[in-house]
Chain A
Amino acid sequence: MTIIKRRHFLGGSAMIGAGLMAGGMPRLANAQSTEITVTAFGGVWEEAVRKCFVAPFEAKTKAKANVSLGGPPQWLAQVEANQAKPPVDVLIMTPDLALTAAKSGLVDDFTVDKIPNLAKIPKELTDSVMGKGTLFDYGVGGITFHKERVKNPPKSFAEFVDRVSKGEFVASVPSIAYAVTPIMLIWAMAKALGGGVDNVDPFFKAMAKMKDNLVFWGGPNDFFNHLSSGEAEVGIYFDGRTWNHYDSGATWIDFINPEEGGSLNGVAVQKPKNANPLAWEYINEILDAQNQTKFADIMNYGVTNSDVVYSDKIKPRITPWQKTAFPPYEQIAQVRNEWVDRWNREIGR
């Protein structure tokens, strides 16, 4: 029987500890330099991110990109709580949260010397998030309809309001619980009807006229259920999501970009301060024309690199960003709470 003496035990423990330190420290250092954590939404979005951005990044840099699934509010809170060592190296954000991150000083400036492909992104899209990120992908909030039930769909927001008010059809519109409603519905419709950020009265008047023929969706799946179940015939929805439904077999669905221009709802990419510098390489891949072309093909959404040539399949589906109504995200963020309050008082759903 072996008796372990206290001195032997302490000595052995010290050696094991030293060994672990020696083995562990380089691994830690290695992990910091050759691994980054990037973000993605779940489902086909994540698959597209892996195929179009992660794979070329890993092939070029020989580094690893771990994909964290979730949503922008979650990632922003995590970065805010861990500013010295952010748990994610690349953020995918909605424009309003991208502006919050920019104003809070949580993210780095985007420059061409750090991201060469930024030169191919229209300046307006980078300026819209204060140059601390850029939009790389966008959807258009327009009129989606059931083409078997609506043979002659409304072509503009004005016509939409007029015909819904008359009870020609029931429309499904986003509720205030949906994060993008202030942009895709309140601002877009107010602008189309002669108002704007400073004057949303036309929107609220239109909603009052339409109120008996409206249903509200809280999430994209609700909208689809409204249309498929017959609860509504038309609605305000995104182009990319409409085409995704179409491709999955719902061939009765169709989309129109309203004559006044549907709102551009962008997805921004940002790099948190103190994140791994390898994130710049990954962001450069996100902004690459070839990678964005593949991404658009999978997602049915527009992308922002000016060299992108869409495939024949999706070209007719994509609205060029110049033909959309480009929201003044920063101004909308300032009056957003006021609009939500007015919605709650006047519409209440």
Chain B
Amino acid sequence: MKRDWINLGLAAFVVLFFVFMLAPILIVVLVSFTSAGYVSFPIPGWSLKWFAHIFEYQPFIDALIVSIEIAIGATVLSCLIGVPAAIFLARSRSAWASGIMTFLLSPLSMPMIVIGFASLFFLSWLGVGISFAALLITHTVVCLPYIVRTVAGVYAGLPRSYEEAAAILGANPLLTFWHVTLPLIRPGIMAGSLFSFLTSFDNLPISYFFGSASTNTLPVVMLSYMENQFDPTIAALSTLQLALAVVALLIVDRVYGIDKMTVAG
């Protein structure tokens, strides 16, 4: 009897927790379908006009393309740099290894706005200036820790015997990596890439400093729009982003399996 009450209390807590977490999102979704010209709840009627307005406002489309390009580019670069680094550092006995690992992970513990501001001045001093390349470099800096951390975590948990067996059977280091190590660390790469993509795609504090007529990302344009416009287009855009994220996760789950991304092997 007492156990039933505990279970009931726990279930109620979980339900309340989800309501607390999801209710604001639900309101944003509902407001995006309003027929009113301003944000209000409850909504007076239903309309899809704010979704149509997203596609009529060209800066949203241009910025969305830049955001996707940067998120993919930063994720690919982070993998190219982060995977070898993680493999080396995960099992290194060098005294420097933990220092280098801390250095690579340090962007996680620094305020993004500081990284953005410092990068603006540093890259401008180097002559890279306000450009797509500068934006890509800075996003890579903040995406890299996600790849390094997840890949190093997975790799450190793997027995050395798999790679040793491959070597004993005659595989050179490259073949060993390709046929043994890479398939084993793939869940770490996938999980890190997903975090990396989302971190870059949602990033505002860094993108803000590198925004220009050709390099503005979606969050920068959304902020600028929201500060001076009061219609529910931002709610519609948020709903669309939410839908895209859910669809992407469903596809990843279907093709790869989300549970595999967190479990090695």
Contact = CB atoms under 8 A, between A and B. Distances in A.
A45 B211 CA distance: 17
Contact of A69 (B41, B220, B230): B220
Given A42-B59, A248-B230, A70 B216 contact: yes
A85 B129 contact: yes
Nearest to B37: A248
B231 to A, nearest CB: 6
Contact of A82 (B129, B213, B222, B226): B129
A250 interface: yes
Contact of B231 (A37, A45, A248): A248
A77 B129 contact: no
A87 B212 contact: yes
B241 interface: no
B38 A74 contact: no
B87 interface: no
Interface residues of A, number: 34
B226 A221 contact: yes
Interface in B99-144: 117, 120-121, 124-125, 129-130
B36 interface: yes
Given A44-B228, A224-B38, A249-B37, A74 B213 contact: no
B122 to A, nearest CB: 9
Given A87-B130, A224-B38, A228-B40, A68 B231 contact: no
B209 interface: yes
A225 interface: yes
Contacts of A250: 37-38
Contacts of B224: 41-43, 46, 69-71
Given A42-B224, A249-B37, A69 B211 contact: yes
A37 B213 contact: yes
B227 A74 contact: no
A166 interface: no
Nearest to A35: B213
A81 interface: yes
Contacts of B28: none
B216 A69 contact: yes
Nearest to B60: A42
Contacts of B36: 249
A41 B227 contact: yes
A46 B225 CA distance: 9
B213 A68 contact: yes
B169 to A, nearest CB: 38
Given A42-B59, A249-B37, A81 B121 contact: yes
A77 B120 contact: yes
B230 A224 contact: yes
A229 B224 CA distance: 24
A41 B228 contact: yes
A11 interface: no
B39 interface: yes
A219 B40 contact: no
Nearest to B35: A249
A344 interface: no
Contacts of A82: 124, 129-130
B229 interface: yes
A82 B223 CA distance: 24
Interface in B205-255: 208-209, 211-214, 216, 220-231
B213 A67 contact: yes
Contacts of B229: 42-45
A78 interface: yes
Nearest to A248: B37
A43 B231 CA distance: 10
Contact of A70 (B125, B208, B231): B208
A245 interface: yes
B214 A66 contact: yes
Contact of B38 (A42, A43, A45, A228): A228
Nearest to A87: B130
A244 interface: yes
Contacts of A77: 117, 120, 209
Nearest to A38: B213
Given A82-B130, A87-B130, A69 B38 contact: no
A244 B39 CA distance: 13
Task: Tell me which of A42, A68, A224 has the highest count of chain B C-beta atoms within 10 A of its own C-beta.
Answer: A42
A244 B59 contact: no
Interface string B196-212: 00000000000011011
A322 B265 CA distance: 74
Interface in A208-234: 219-221, 224-225, 228-229
Interface of A: 37, 41-46, 66-71, 74, 77-78, 81-82, 85, 87-88, 219-221, 224-225, 228-229, 241, 244-245, 248-250
Given A69-B211, A78-B212, 18 more contacts: A42-B222, A43-B224, A43-B229, A44-B229, A45-B229, A46-B224, A70-B211, A71-B224, A77-B209, A81-B124, A87-B129, A219-B226, A220-B230, A224-B39, A228-B38, A241-B230, A245-B38, A248-B231
19 contacts: A42-B222, A42-B229, A44-B228, A45-B228, A45-B229, A69-B59, A69-B216, A69-B220, A70-B224, A71-B223, A74-B208, A74-B220, A77-B120, A78-B130, A82-B129, A229-B41, A245-B230, A248-B38, A249-B37
8 closest cross-chain pairs (CB), A and B? A43-B229, A42-B224, A248-B37, A42-B225, A66-B213, A81-B124, A249-B37, A87-B130
